[in-house]
Amino acid sequence: MTEYNRSEALDLSLFDLPALKPNVQEPEREKPVQKKPKTAAQIRRESVASALRAVKLFFVSAVLILLFGSVLFSKISLVTLEGDVHEWELKISEAQSENTRLLMQLNSAVSLDKVDEYAVSVLGMHKLERYQIHYFGNTDGDRVVVAGGKAVENKEAKSAD
């Protein structure tokens, strides 16, 4: 029972965080490495390599800019051509409607009633009566009279009879 009288259950100091102390060990200092001096050939190779990298970068960027420019130009051309197509479609539809109007006007001007009216009123013509119609029949076959009174007959028609 003596355990019940202990204060370990209420000891809150167990939950306290320990003081944060840097537990970092200092690295051993290495002696600075002395770089060997570069030779003239090494310096020249490095400068040539850096110049080549710059030239490559320039050409790659130039090619990319040209590609972007060509795509942009093609898009602008496409938009312009679409506008032209729309404009021509409008002109075609206007021409078709004008053609329809003119055909209607022509048909109304050339109707049979108008022709009959013009013939009677302006030209003074009259319609034929039944007694004025004569039909001719040719039972002798085809025959042509040439100047001078000489007659030429169709030989094919005689041979077919």
pLDDT tens-digit map of 97-118: 999 999 999 888 888 888 888 8
pTM value is: 0.39
Taking the CA of residue 40 as centre, how many other CA atoms within 13 Å lie in the half-sphere pointing to its CB? 0
**What does the domain layout of the chain look like in residue ranges?**
40-129
- Does residue 86 have a pLDDT over 60? yes
Q: Is 59 exposed, middle or buried (0-12, 13-18, 19+ CB in 10 A)?
A: exposed
pLDDT bracket for residue 33 (50, 70, 90): confident
Mean pLDDT computed over 29-43: 82
Residue range 132-148, pLDDT digits in tens? 888 887 776 776 777 77
Q: Residue 70: which pLDDT band, with cuts at 50, 70 and 90?
A: very high
Do 102 and 110 touch, CB atoms closer than 8 A?
Answer: no
Report the share of the chain in percent with pLDDT over 70.
Answer: 74
Q: What is the pLDDT of residue 112?
A: 84
